[in-house]
Structure 1
Amino acid sequence: MLPESMKYALIMLAAGAGVPVLAALNAQLGALVGSPAAAGAVMFLIAAVVAVFVAVVLGQSAAFALVSAQPRYLFLAGVLIAFYLLSISWVAPRFGVGNAVMFVLLGQIVAISVIDHFALFGAKLRPLDLSRAVGIVLMTLGVILAQRPGS
Structure 2
Amino acid sequence: MHLLLPIVLTFLAGIGVAAQAPTNGMLAKVSGSTLLAALISFGVGTAAIAIAWAANDRTSPAVLRDAPAWAWLGGIYGAIYVATAAYAAPRLGVATMLMIAIAGQMAAAVVIDHFGLFGIRAEPVSLSRIAGLVLVIAGVVLVRR
- TM class by shorter chain equals over 0.9
Residue of structure 1 equivalent to 2:97 = 100
Matched ranges for 1:1-151 at <5 A? 3-62=1-60, 64-148=61-145
User: Over residues 76-109 of structure 1, what are the superposed CA-to-partner deviations in whole Å (9 max), with x where a residue is unaligned?
Assistant: 1111111001111011111111111110011111
Equivalent-residue separation in structure 2 for 1:7 and 1:59 (angstroms): 20
Q: Is the 8 A contact 2:99 2:136 kept in 1?
A: no
Aligned residue type for 1:93? P
**4+ aligned runs moved over 6 Å, structure 1:** none
Distance change >3 Å, CA 69–CA 124, structure 1 → 2: closer
Q: How many residues align?
A: 145
User: Over residues 3-28 of structure 1, what are the superposed CA-to-partner deviations in whole Å (9 max), with x where a residue is unaligned?
Assistant: 33101100011111111100010011
Equivalent-residue separation in structure 1 for 2:51 and 2:66 (angstroms): 22
User: Over residues 31-75 of structure 1, what are the superposed CA-to-partner deviations in whole Å (9 max), with x where a residue is unaligned?
Assistant: 11111111111111111111111111223242x223344222111
Q: Please tell me the root mean square deviation across aligned C-alpha atoms, in Å.
A: 1.3
Q: Is the 8 A contact 1:23 1:92 kept in 2?
A: yes
Query: How high is the sequence identity, in percent, across the aligned residues?
Result: 31
Gaps of 5+ in 2: none
Question: Normalization by structure 1: what TM-score?
Answer: 0.90
Gaps of 5+ in 1: none
Distance change >3 Å, CA 147–CA 29, structure 1 → 2: same
Aligned residue type for 1:142? G
Equivalent-residue separation in structure 2 for 1:47 and 1:4 (angstroms): 28
